[in-house]
Structure 1
Amino acid sequence: MTNNTLKTAFFSLLALLLIIFNTNAQTERESKKATLDSLYIQEVENKHELVKVLHAEPLYIDLIRDLGARKGEREWNVGLGLTDNNTYDEYLALVEYEWAPIDRLGLEVELPFTFYPSANSTNVPSSKLNGLKLATQYSFFVSEKLKTSMAIGYIHEFELTAFNNYNSSKLFTGNIYNPFFVVAKRWGNNFHTLLYTGPAIQHHFDDHQSTTTSWQINSNFHYMIPGTRNFIGLEFNKEVTSNDFEMTIRPQMRVEVTDHLLVGIVTGIPISRENERFSSFLRLIYEPKH
């Protein structure tokens, strides 16, 4: 008998043993699965008199606060990203703090940065603090029966000039006005869908006081691992203007490190962006006790 035959027999036996073991353990896992799911959902939804439905929150274009937020909830986020453009690399960083001062209402403050290592090269933008973002979100519909939540919100960003222009030009270069609508539904215990959409109106402080408008349509699908806060999913970020359409698909996963710390990992795959290639993004999420 040749070595290849022995290897084949060995791996076949190993596969058979794994199948037998998996079959014996499957019944026990299935019986625990429903219990774990129901216990975690009850922990989120029923630990408070105020109704709240558990939804998976996207990692790249995230929400201001959980849908159906309860007073006292708060969260710190730190994000780091890299985008491979055709002629230069773009590094992203953000720090944000979100909290719920009253039931159903979320507030957020965010500082987003963009860095360009090759900023001195031709046609490469300059590094800057993009702006100061202030946001609010109110959940006006929460239904346990339908496993559905809806919210409206508004983001206002004060745009800032590049770091190297602080001494020679205006500090503020414009405003971005971004009202939005969110609807989310959980299907069963583990499947989640969410739609986040609204216009982004950019007002430039130039000689003409010009404005540009784009529509953001972000659709999401996630599967939450039974009995945990971990999930895998897809985020479809679409931007529509009067003469253009761009979309990036972002496969992602979230992993619980401790009771208060989660890590989100995102990959960006552009579908119709002419100047952008693959990108990656990492989000650290810290939720203090409340």
Structure 2
Amino acid sequence: MSGVPIDTKPLFTPHMKPVFRPYHIAGIFAFFSWSIACSSLSHADFVEGDAALSSVTPHIPEPLLFDLVRPLGSQKGEMEVNVFTHQYPGKGALEWAPEIEYVFTDGYAIEFELPSENSSLEDYKVALQGTFYATPNALMVHGWQVIAKKNRDAGQYSADALYINGYRLSNAWSTLNMLGARHTGLDGNGKTTVLINNNLFYDYSQRLTYGIELNHEIDPKGQWRYRATPQIHFDFNQNITLQAGLGVSTLNEKKSVEPIFSMRLIYAL
């Protein structure tokens, strides 16, 4: 973390077990209940927007944690801004990132992101995404994404490359999967990690979607770490969507199991 800390007293020590605070669980439960109520009372003529979609056709939801750069198959000129936040309850620090995404030509988009911790900017991040050809009525869509990131303090670089595949299983069920790799330390002393992202979604209504996202990382020694995040997506209107999830993760230095709360607010222009 960069910057001068305001208080040097640790908010979390190895002797403390990270637990969910009551307000985290209460907040998720309240949002869950409110989303169902609003979804059930929605007008029949509500048309779902594309603020939280991973593809225009066949209309597959977008993951909360490993989001896409606008939906696959988006048209030139489309733009999106969103803010992602996540926190490990008990640790105090809030990790968040403002993002802006733009489709510069049909099927191809670029994203700029500024990952931060509390009030400190941590990284500079840019991503490019492309869509492979798919027929208008296809149940499957696929594309690719590449990501470059530079740490602000250490000056270290990393690069990701991923293949994206989505499939519409039925009117309500769909899946999205990614497979790729991340290389860190581009000076020749880095390492390569296998990245896998699996998602299963259920569209409860036009406004409300349930999902579970699994993120896997396999290092050069074959050691596996994961993050599992059940989540809900709620469309306020055709342009604004809120995603929230509460899960567990071992994507930390100690590779220990710890809870994580994540949220993303999306506005599609």
The question of whether the paired residues in 2 share the 8 Å contact of 1:75 and 1:285 is answered with yes
Letter in 1 for 2:130: Y
What is the match of residue 234 of structure 1?
212
CA RMSD across the alignment: 2.7
Deviation for aligned residue 1:271? 6.2
Of 251, 254, 264, which residue of structure 1 is paired with 2:243?
264
For 1:181, give the aligned amino acid: Y
CA distance in 1: counterparts of 2:133 and 2:198, whole angstroms: 19
For 2:96, the equivalent position in structure 1 comes to 93
- Residue of structure 1 equivalent to 2:87: 82
- Alignment CA distance shift 1:257-1:40 (3 Å): closer
Superposed displacement of residue 275, structure 1: 3.1
Distance 1:72 1:129 in 2: 28
Q: Distance in 2 between the 1:98 and 1:185 partners? A: 23
Partner amino acid, structure 2, of 1:92: E
Please say if residues 55 and 185 of structure 1, whose CA atoms lie closer than 8 Å, have aligned partners that are also in contact.
Answer: yes
- Which residue of structure 2 aligns with residue 285 of structure 1? 266
Structure 1 residue corresponding to 2:165, chosen from 183, 207, 210: 183
Higher Rg:
1
> Pick from 104, 107, 116: which aligns with 2:107?
104
> Whole-Å Cα distance in 1 between the matches of residues 140 and 103 of structure 2?
20
Deviations along 1:169-220, whole A, 9 cap, x unmatched? xxx5211111111000112222110001211101166xxx520211110000
In structure 2, what is the equivalent of residue 25 of structure 1? none
Matches of 2:92 and 2:194 in 1, distance apart?
Answer: 26
Alignment of 1:180-259 (within 5 A): 180-203=162-185, 210-228=189-207, 230-243=208-221, 244-259=223-238
The answer to whether the Cα contact below 8 Å between 1:84 and 1:276 also exists between their aligned partners in 2 is: no
2:152 paired residue among 139, 160, 171? 160
Cα distance in 1, alignment partners of residues 137 and 226 from structure 2: 34
Instruction: Give a deviation string over 1:266-285, Cα, whole Å, max 9, x none.
Output: 11223686334101011110
Gaps of 5+ in 1: 1-28, 30-35, 45-50, 116-126, 162-171
The residue number in structure 2 matching 1:139 is: 131
CA-CA distance at 1:89 after TM superposition? 4.1
Conservation of the 8 A alpha-carbon contact between 2:200 and 2:211: yes
Structure 2 distance, partners of 1:253, 1:177, is 29
Is the Cα–Cα contact under 8 Å of residues 191 and 220 in structure 2 kept in the other structure? no
Contact 2:47 2:238 in 1 (8 A): no
Bigger fraction of residues in helix: 1
Partner of 2:117: 114
Are 1:173 and 1:204, in contact at CA under 8 Å, matched by a contact in 2? no
How far apart are the structure 2 equivalents of 1:272 and 1:109?
23
* 2:250–2:256 CA contact under 8 A, matched in 1: no
Letter in structure 2 aligned against 1:141: Y
Look up the equivalent residue of 2:150 and give its one-letter code. Answer: F
Q: TM-score, normalised by structure 2?
A: 0.74
What is the distance in 2 between the residues matched to 1:222 and 1:260? 20
Structure 1 residue 40, shift from structure 2 partner:
4.5
Greater relative contact order, per chain length (Cα 8 Å cut-off, separation 6+): 2
Structure 1 residues 113, 72: closer, same or farther in 2, change over 3 A?
A: same
Distance 2:82 2:251 in 1: 29
Provide the residue aligned with 1:52 in structure 2.
Answer: 57
Q: For 1:128 and 1:195, how far apart are their aligned partners in 2?
A: 32
Indicate the SS of the match to 1:143.
Answer: coil
Check the 8 A contact 1:249/1:271 in 2, yes or no: no
Contact 2:248–2:257 (Cα < 8 Å) also in 1: no
Q: String of CA shifts for 1:32-88, please: whole Å, max 9, x gaps.
A: xxxx69x958x87xxxxxx83311110111011201111121110111211147xx4
Any stretches of 5+ residues in structure 2 without a counterpart? 1-39, 51-55
